[in-house]
Amino acid sequence: MKPIIKISVIVILLFGTAIFFTSCKKEETLPDVTTIPVTNITQTSALAGVTVTDDGGAEVTAMGFCWSTSPNPTINSNRMDIGTGIGSFTRVLNGLTANTKYYVRAFATNSAGTNYGNEVTFTTGSTVPIIKTISVTEITMASAVIGSSITTDGGQEIIDKGICWATIPFPTTNYKRTSWGIGTETFPDIIYGLHPSTKYYVRAYAVNAVGTAYGDELSFTTLAVSPIIFNPDLAYGSIADVDGNLYKTIQIGTQIWMAENLKTTRFNDGAPIPYVTDDIEWEKLTTPGYCWYDNDPSSFKDIYGALYNWYAVNTYKLCPIGWHVPTNAEWNNLSDYLGINAGGKMKETGTIKWVNPNTGASNISGFTAIPGGSRDPFYQEWRYSTFGYLGYNSSWWSATEYSNPNVGYAAWLYTKESTFSNGSIAAKISGLSVRCLKD
């Protein structure tokens, strides 16, 4: 802004003679200031600047630039003072937020006031997401629930997220992990395939086009294997299988049931049941097969028994001689006899094996259901492991045929329900527990 020249004319009458005096005074105005375009933009910084071409007739006592996430920032907003005088100057602006639009104006101040340059805008670059590992709850011998939260996607779409864990600190996605795909929404994530009495380290993770971010590390120790808690007020019998395993039995109404899950490795004629650990081989089976939960007999065999596919059940040789896999009608007889809250009357009490809340559990029947989980290859697409739900449900095969050749009938109990679910279905390749009923 060019200074204004003020002309003053003074007339003095002296001894009858007019004397004229003329003076020129330069009036102070605001400085001329221009905002330099912002360059070198990163996720958290940028290069901004100011040019002062005219001081307005008075010394420039302050100049620099101010910025905000709203238009028309002033010196009362965020500001950076660069110096005094006239000229062009740039400085690095740090501490910005990624993927954010900013407004910038240069300023210059003299005794006439403060003038602002033109407003320029820029947007900081994207960054990795910000994610938090919040909690570890519902710890069992083989699983835990991990809570997480995504604070920001970093300016790019989340393309994967989940939990990673290991028995050493700072696990990454190169270790075992869950995967929940796109978006910022998170859920309590159940991780399976853990081993009893083992310390684990977990971190939530989220991935966008910029990279992978991890939450804080949390650690926990899984529970130890504990004995089955039978009802001490009831009288139990016993039965042995062909392998010599001894099981408690209990009479419920007119029926006599095994009070433990079957764990035989041979049919009752002595023929071996194929032991299949490989997931791909298991999924292709159309013949009998069995496994232990997580392929870990040392941890799970004695308490939880084995997991069998439907084809092993369909041989009618799985249970000890004089015993059989129950039909739907026989499962229904059990449920009808127990009446309301039949499931609660069948479940082992407490929350050592059953994850809290183990609704309605009293085990007044003596059936002593424990949550042995299951094996299903279909789960691997979203959960890394084919084994799951240990601590959350009990599932047993029924001998009743189903019309669909790929599925079979099954009975279920759940930790959050006191009802008994019979007549459900499961894929024949699934690995479920077996309870035997006396002929």
How far apart are alpha carbons 119 and 152 in whole angstroms? Answer: 28
- Residue 11 inside a domain? The answer is no
Q: What percent of the chain has pLDDT over 90?
A: 83
Verify that 258 and 301 share a domain, yes or no. yes
Q: Cβ contacts of residue 281 below 8 Å, gap of 6+? A: none
- Residue 2 inside a domain? The answer is no
- Residue 230 inside a domain? The answer is no
Verify that 216 and 247 share a domain, yes or no. no
- Residue 175 inside a domain? The answer is yes
Verify that 275 and 383 share a domain, yes or no. yes
Of 93, 123, 153, the residue that ends a domain is: 123
Pull the structure tokens for residue 274.
Answer: 């194929």
Please give the model's pTM, rounded to 2 decimal places: 0.73
Verify that 286 and 148 share a domain, yes or no. no
Of 90, 123, 156, the residue that ends a domain is: 123
Verify that 275 and 379 share a domain, yes or no. yes
Identify the domain containing residue 47 by its residue range. 32-123
- Residue 27 inside a domain? The answer is no
pLDDT tens digits in sequence order for the chain, 439 residues long: 444 444 444 444 444 455 544 445 557 899 999 999 999 998 899 999 999 999 999 999 999 999 999 999 999 999 999 999 999 999 999 999 888 999 999 999 999 999 999 999 999 988 899 999 999 999 998 899 999 999 999 889 999 999 999 999 999 999 999 998 899 999 899 998 889 999 999 999 999 999 999 999 999 999 999 999 999 999 999 999 999 999 999 999 999 999 999 999 999 999 999 999 999 999 999 999 999 999 999 999 999 999 999 999 999 999 999 999 999 999 999 999 999 999 999 999 999 999 999 999 999 999 999 999 999 876 554 456 788 899 999 999 999 989 999 999 999 999 999 999 998 999 999 999 999 999 9
- Residue 174 inside a domain? The answer is yes
Please tell me the total count of domains within the chain. 3
Verify that 355 and 241 share a domain, yes or no. yes
- Residue 18 inside a domain? The answer is no
> To which H or E segment does residue 301 belong?
helix 297-304
Q: What are phi and psi of 356, to 5 degrees?
A: -50, 130
Phi-psi region of 368 (alpha: psi -120 to 50; beta: other; left: phi over 0): left
Q: What is the CATH number of the domain that holds 172?
A: 2.60.40.10
Verify that 388 and 272 share a domain, yes or no. yes
Verify that 291 and 377 share a domain, yes or no. yes
Verify that 265 and 395 share a domain, yes or no. yes
Verify that 167 and 301 share a domain, yes or no. no
In this predicted model, what pLDDT tens digit does every residue of 86-106 receive, in sequence order?
999 999 999 998 889 999 999
Verify that 115 and 134 share a domain, yes or no. no
Q: Cβ contacts of residue 336 below 8 Å, gap of 6+? A: none
Q: What are phi and psi of 189, to 5 degrees?
A: -110, 120
- Residue 197 inside a domain? The answer is yes
Q: What are phi and psi of 380, to 5 degrees?
A: -60, -25
Of 187, 221, 255, the residue that ends a domain is: 221
Q: Is 360 exposed, middle or buried (0-12, 13-18, 19+ CB in 10 A)?
A: middle
Verify that 150 and 198 share a domain, yes or no. yes
Q: What are phi and psi of 431, to 5 degrees?
A: -105, 115
